[in-house]
Amino acid sequence: MKTSQIPYRDIRYFSSLIKGYLEQDPSLESLFNNYPTLENFEKQIAEKSAQKNLDKNRLVLQQVLRDQYEDLSNKASSLNNVESLADHKTFTITTGHQLNLFTGPLYFLYKIITVINLCNQLKENYPEYNFVPVYWMATEDHDFEEIKFFNFDDKKLVFEHHGEHGAVGRMSTEGLNKVKNELQLLLGKSLYAKELINLFQDSYSRSDLAQATRALAHELFKDDGLVIVEADDYRLKDLMIPFFKEELVDKLSFKRVSETLENWPNEHKVQVTPREINLFYLTDTYRARIIEKSGRYYVDENEISWTQEEIIAELEKHPERFSPNVIMRPLYQEVILPNLCYIGGGGELAYWLELKEYFKSQEIPFPMLLLRNSALLITAKQSQKIKDLGLKIADLFLERHEIDKYIAQHHSTVKIDFEDQKSFLQSQFEELYQIASQTDESFTGAVAAQERKQLKGLENLEKRLLKAQKRKQVDYIERMHELRNRLFPNDSLQERQANFSMFYKDLGPDLISILKKSLDPLEPSFTIIEL
């Protein structure tokens, strides 16, 4: 195994906002709290320790987690961390993710491993404290289309479900045997095929997707003390009643986030626009927006409605029926967890950066924000192909036309670059400009026009020569594209497309070990892992 890094600034798949954040651009300083360095965690610990009602919330969280872990086996490491949550010297490092089928894209693993590795680093640097890795399951999301599939090589395995349309965590796992059978055929006789099928079977034998995903993530990381939180619980929602009430009455998240967006840097895209009320109404069959009109509250596309007094009474009686959206979910998380740092992808951090002033208005410490590790896994066979093509791994991140040009130039027997000829031509025109300066001003314009014409002609010749060489080097270019399509499917990062099973089938548990050894949570670079 060999690892190397590429700075995020050199990779086109990451937004200008995230690149600016990683470089601590002064124009973004108002959007985050403590930047994630080992030294800054001391300040974050002090801020979080002062949070109102944190000790009470710890005990509620601990009891909920005891109940949620009741039906899992091999849970000693996780339960030790659950029991430590009551201790005022225990803090969490958290990531969140949807309930993607069989973990979905590879970066599901990268998120959790970033959390685990950071906890280990913090324990080494702050031995007097405990640090618990947390995976927050997005069980209340209702976009089933996003989570119902995973990719295996060029095949898409889809869970065809035509039942409930509410929170995905509550959806039945009935019908997933068909997906298991398809996966079994694709795995064939690979080394760890049986282990993967058993993992799928054991996980999705649970009654709903929340329990299945918890079982799956626990099995992959049971020895790392990972604590998996399902926030769709009335006891945790009960802690949010004051915050939800203020949201319904005063629409504070809309006001504070809107104020932040009024001063948003023009050069960066806004990730999420807040609604007036950032809560859904949640039942077993649907999750729909709550809308206020003329002092009355409605459930979108539903006949249910309340006065303000009535909806507050409903909240106090059934807090579990109120579900935060993307704007309020971070606050929910930070209220109930003794959390120091949230780890997410670029899109997640982009919307978290909108929320600092809202957190301040709620007197909840704003967590550190850390970009999860990103990586490209390359097999030994693929590494050899890259060398045979005369490429460096970094070249594969280029746009298609750029890498085509590189291949044609690298393998051409003639020089395609006409820079020397252009320089010579420009030196000749310098003499003409000197002559022109001694005559008429109109002659200078004629010289300039002729220079542009001649340079344009050289550029056209250069393009024609490049095109000819591309035709001549078509074998190299086709081989390069075949390789690149494997490593960057759909011109996207591998981690956003491929499922872990593609690598686990040959490597087994060593895949997890390799990733843990290769990924450094506080290293702000993209990691290349040559297997």
Q: How open is the CA angle 167-207-216, to the nearest 5 degrees?
A: 85
276 and 348 part of one domain:
no
Q: Is residue 334 domain-resident? A: no
Closest CA to 320 of 207, 213, 211, 231: 231
250 and 214 part of one domain:
no
Name the band, by pLDDT with cuts 50, 70 and 90, for residue 431: confident
Q: How far is CA 206 from CA 181, 209, 212, 216, 520, in A?
A: 17, 8, 5, 10, 34
Q: Is residue 213 domain-resident? A: yes
227 and 138 part of one domain:
yes
Q: What is the 3-state secondary structure (H, E, C) of 258-312?
A: HHHHHCCCCCCCCCCCCCCCCEEEECCCCEEEEEEECCEEEECCCCCEEEHHHHH
pLDDT digits (tens, 9 = 90+) for 132-144: 999 999 999 999 9
pLDDT digits (tens, 9 = 90+) for 255-274: 999 999 999 999 999 999 99
Q: Report whether pLDDT(459) > 80.
A: no
pLDDT digits (tens, 9 = 90+) for 386-427: 998 888 999 999 998 887 776 656 554 555 555 666 577 677
Tell me, what's the pLDDT at 435? 77
Name the band, by pLDDT with cuts 50, 70 and 90, for residue 430: confident
Q: Is residue 164 domain-resident? A: yes
Q: Report whether pLDDT(477) > 60.
A: yes
Starting at the earlier edge strand, list the strands of the sheet with 2-7. Answer: 2-7, 525-530, 375-378
Name the band, by pLDDT with cuts 50, 70 and 90, for residue 33: very high
493 and 465 part of one domain:
yes
Q: Is residue 331 domain-resident? A: no
- For range 11-18, the mean pLDDT: 96
Tell me, what's the pLDDT at 426? 74
18 and 94 part of one domain:
yes
Closest CA to 221 of 140, 111, 124: 111
229 and 361 part of one domain:
yes
391 and 367 part of one domain:
no
Q: Is residue 332 domain-resident? A: no
Q: Is residue 401 domain-resident? A: yes
Q: How far is CA 254 from CA 258, 278, 312, 447, in A?
A: 6, 8, 19, 61
385 and 365 part of one domain:
no
277 and 134 part of one domain:
no
Give alpha helix (H) positions in 412-440: 419-437
34 and 169 part of one domain:
yes
Name the band, by pLDDT with cuts 50, 70 and 90, for residue 474: low
Q: Is residue 505 domain-resident? A: no
Domain count, the chain: 3
Tell me, what's the pLDDT at 164? 60
Instruction: Find the radius of gyration of the CA atoms of the chain.
Output: 28
83 and 167 part of one domain:
yes
Starting at the earlier edge strand, list the strands of the sheet with 305-307. Answer: 305-307, 296-299, 287-293, 279-282, 322-324
Q: Is residue 475 domain-resident? A: yes
146 and 180 part of one domain:
yes
Residue 131 β-bridge partners: 91
Name the band, by pLDDT with cuts 50, 70 and 90, for residue 476: confident
Tell me, what's the pLDDT at 105? 98
Range(s) of the domain holding residue 260: 241-324
